[in-house]
Copies of this chain bind each other. A is one copy, B any other.
Amino acid sequence: MNDFPETSITPQRLALLNRYFEAANYLAVGQVFLQSNPLLQEPLKPEHIKPRLLGHWGTDPGLSLIYVHLNRLICDTGASILYVTGPGHGAPAILANLWLEGTYSEYYPEVARDANGMLALFRRFSTPGGVPSHVSAQTPGSIHEGGELGYSLLHAFGAAFDNPDLIVACVVGDGEAETGPAAGAWKSTSFLNPRRDGAVLPILHLNGYKISGPTVQGRTSDADLLKLYEGHGYEVHLVSGDQPAVVHAELAATLDTCYARIRQIQIQAREHGVTTLPRWPLIILRTPKGWTGPREVGGLPVEGTFRAHQVPLPLARTDSTQLKQLEDWLRSYRPQALFGAGGVPDPDFADLIPAGERRMGVNPCANGGARLVDLELPDFSNYAFDVPAPGSVRAEATRRLGEYLRDVFRLNADEHNFRLFCPDETNSNRLGAVFDVTNRCSMRSVTPADDHLSADGRVMEVLSEHCCEGWLEGYLLTGRHGIFPCYEAFATIVDSMMNQHAKWLKTSREIK
C-alpha cells in the first residue's frame, strides 16, 4: 500500500476506492462487449461477444473515477450530491455505478445485483428495446441528456438555484467544453447566491480527445488553463496523472478541500452576511482517455488517444488477437475478486456506498416530478381589461401579463419555486411589473445607477438564450417552475435545446 502518497484518507480506503473504480470499469467494458459469460467464469469465446459493438469506452474511466470519489465524499460528509454527466456517451460508466450502489436494481428489478442482473445490464446496453449509450431520462439520478453537447453546466446551475442543501457535481468533458453554450456557461456563478442557492462543483475532465482529434483544452498548458478559469472567477484545483494510486490520493484530497470551501462559502453567506461573489472551487482533472484499457491495438497506440473514444477492440468477435486482448483487459480488473461467484459486488464496497437517498441514483432532486409543488396561480380573469366598446381602450397585452407574473411571484414567495429567465428583455417585453416585487439577479457589485438589481432577485437576466433555456431546464427538471420570455426572432437560437428537452419530457412520461 505504500505507493499511495500521504493523505488524510487512509491507504486502505484508497485501495478500496481503486477496487470500486476497477469494478465500475469492468462493468463498463462488459456493457460494450459481452452478451454472455459476464463474470468470465470460462475462457472468453467469440460467441460471448455481442455481434454488433456499440458504445463509448473512452470517457467511462473518468466518469467512474469521479463517481466513486463522490460516493466517498458523501459517505464521509452526508452531503446531498447530484451527478450531472456532460460527456456524451458515458452511459456505461454511470449504469455501472448505479448497479454497484444498488439503485439501478431498485428501479429495474429485472436487472438484479447478481450475476443474472449483471448479464441483463450488459445485454440491454445499446440494444434495440434496451437503454441508450448516453445518459437519458431512463437513467436513475440523471437530469441531463447526453446527446447534443453543451448544456451540462447550465443544467447543473439550474438545479442548484433555490436548492440550498444541494451540491451539483457536473462533469464537463473537453469535447463539450469546445461548444459555445458550454463556453458561455462558466459565468453562471455570477447568478448563484450562496445564501439561498446550492452549490455547483464543475469538474472539467480533460482526457485530451474528441472522436478523432485532440481537444483545444487538452492541448492547452496548465498555466493557461489556470488563468482561464481563475479569470472566469473560480478557485481552480488541478488533478492530473495516469497512475491510479496517485490520482486517487490527489482527487480524494482535492474533493475534501473543495467540499470544505463550499461549506465555508455557504457559512459566510448564510451566517455572517457576506454578500460578495465568492470564488467557487472548480476541479480540472487530466487523466488518459480510455484509462486502464488496451495500450495498443494492431500496433497503434489506443489508451490516451482518440482511438480509445469508442470501441477500442472492434474486431473482438472475429479476430482472435483482439479477443485475447479483451480477455486480458477484463481479467486485469480481477472480476472474481470484485464480485463473488454469484456476481454480487464485494460486501466491502458498502463502505463506499452512501446511505439511502444519499446514493446519487436516487437523489430526490433528480426526481422533479416527486418534488413538484404546484404553483399558486391568480385567477386570470381578474386581469381582463374592461372594453366597453370596440377600440375604446388602449392597452398592451404583455404589460398586463407582467402584472399577472408579479402576482405569481407574490403568491409563491414562500415556496421559492418560481423564476423568470430572460435574455435582458424583461422590460422591453413589457413585463416590468415583476420588478414591483423582485429584482434582476446579480452577485456582482451593484451601483446606485442600477435598476432593480440585487443578489436575491428572481429575474435571471443574461444576454444568452442558451444560459436562460439551460438554467430553466435544470430548474424545471428538479421540480420547480419558470418562464423564458424571449423575442420571437431569437427563440430559434435554442430550438435544438428545446427539442432535446422535449424528448426528455416525452421519455419521462413513458417511464413508470
Contact = CB atoms under 8 A, between A and B. Distances in A.
B214 A225 contact: no
A44 interface: no
Interface in A439-468: 440, 442, 444-445, 447, 449-451, 453, 461-467
Contact of A231 (B185, B231, B300, B493): B231
B445 A211 contact: no
Given A219-B442, A442-B213, A489-B148, A451 B180 contact: no
A224 interface: yes
Contacts of A178: 184, 187, 462-464, 467
A149 interface: yes
A427 B149 CA distance: 19
Contacts of A4: none
B213 A306 contact: no
Interface in A165-182: 175-176, 178-182
A228 B184 CA distance: 13
A467 B184 CA distance: 13
Given A211-B424, A224-B231, A225-B231, 5 more contacts: A179-B463, A210-B424, A219-B444, A228-B232, A492-B495
A304 interface: yes
Contacts of A213: 424, 440, 442, 450-451, 453, 461
29 contacts: A148-B493, A149-B463, A175-B463, A179-B465, A179-B466, A180-B180, A180-B185, A180-B464, A180-B466, A181-B184, A183-B184, A212-B424, A212-B426, A212-B427, A213-B451, A213-B453, A214-B447, A215-B463, A225-B231, A226-B231, A227-B227, A227-B230, A228-B228, A228-B231, A305-B449, A305-B450, A306-B451, A490-B496, A495-B496
Q: Which 6 pairs between the two chains have the least Cβ-Cβ distance?
A: A228-B231, A180-B184, A227-B231, A183-B184, A180-B180, A219-B444
Interface in A282-315: 300-301, 304-307
Contacts of A190: 216, 219
A2 interface: no
A212 B463 CA distance: 11
A41 interface: no
Q: Which has the most chain B C-beta neighbours within 10 Å: A175, A210, A212, A233?
A: A212
A300 B447 CA distance: 13
| Count of identical protomers in the assembly | 2
Interface of A: 147-150, 175-176, 178-187, 190, 210-216, 219-220, 224-233, 300-301, 304-307, 424-428, 440, 442, 444-445, 447, 449-451, 453, 461-467, 489-490, 492-493, 495-496, 499
Nearest to A496: B492
B148 A211 contact: no
Nearest to A451: B212
A321 B428 CA distance: 25
A214 B453 contact: yes
Contact of A499 (B149, B212, B300, B492): B492
Nearest to A487: B148
A230 to B, nearest CB: 5
Contacts of A489: 147-148
A306 B448 CA distance: 12
A85 B382 CA distance: 47
Contacts of A182: 180, 184
Q: Which has the most chain B C-beta neighbours within 10 Å: A216, A306, A427?
A: A216
Nearest to A443: B219
Nearest to A305: B449
A175 B464 CA distance: 9
Q: Which has the most chain B C-beta neighbours within 10 Å: A149, A175, A183, A462?
A: A183
Contacts of A186: 183
